[in-house]
Amino acid sequence: MHARMANPATILPQAYKAVPHLLGAIEQGGVSTTLREIIMLRASQINSCAACVHAHSATLRKEGESDDRIDTVAVWRESPFFTDAERAALNLAEAATRLADSPGAAVPDAIWDEAADNFDEKELAGIVLAIATINFFNRINVTICEPAGTTWS
């Protein structure tokens, strides 16, 4: 499989220059790399972004995450391998990724409140930015058919 075109961020250099700043801002939220990667993996699975699913799974392995946890992110509700805080973040990530799928508020208060019970405002800011950013990247990659195994450097 080949991408339809080069990544737009490499064609429009201002976009490429912005990425490290955005990722740096997300890190300022103080959420662990592991949790950020789990959130991004789940959103990427929902969005069918092969490049990002591959990248986030590989990063989690480099971070020392177990195969059990990586393999069951897609079914986290039925998996015993996640903490209550991780579950709250995954629930928020799913709601914020599937905005059009909710019959009521796109991100219901109950989901937000569960996340707010587990994370402070700074951490929530990092989580929300991580969810929005990975959805942005997923939409680019899916549109151009970026294949799994692609590296961006």
The CA distance from 18 to 137, in Å, is 13
What is the DSSP annotation of 121-141?
Answer: HHHHHHHHHHHHHHHHHHHHH
pLDDT at 60: 98
Domains of the chain: 8-144 (1.20.1290.10)
pLDDT at 80: 98
Whether residue 1 has pLDDT greater than 80 = no
What mean pLDDT comes out for the span 113-127? Answer: 98
CA of residue 68 relative to chain centroid, distance: 19
pLDDT interval class at 143 (50, 70, 90): very high
3-state secondary structure 46-68: HCCCHHHHHHHHHHHHHCCCCHH
Instruction: Identify the weakest region by mean pLDDT among 1-15, 20-34, 41-55, 103-117.
Output: 1-15
What mean pLDDT comes out for the span 63-92? Answer: 98
pLDDT at 153: 60
Q: What's the predicted TM-score (pTM) here? A: 0.95
Residue 142, token pair as written in the block: 């899916």
The CA distance from 6 to 129, in Å, is 25
Helix axis angle, 121-144 relative to 13-27, nearest 10°? 150
User: What would the pLDDT profile of 12-37 be if each residue is shown by its tens digit?
Assistant: 989 888 989 999 999 999 999 999 99
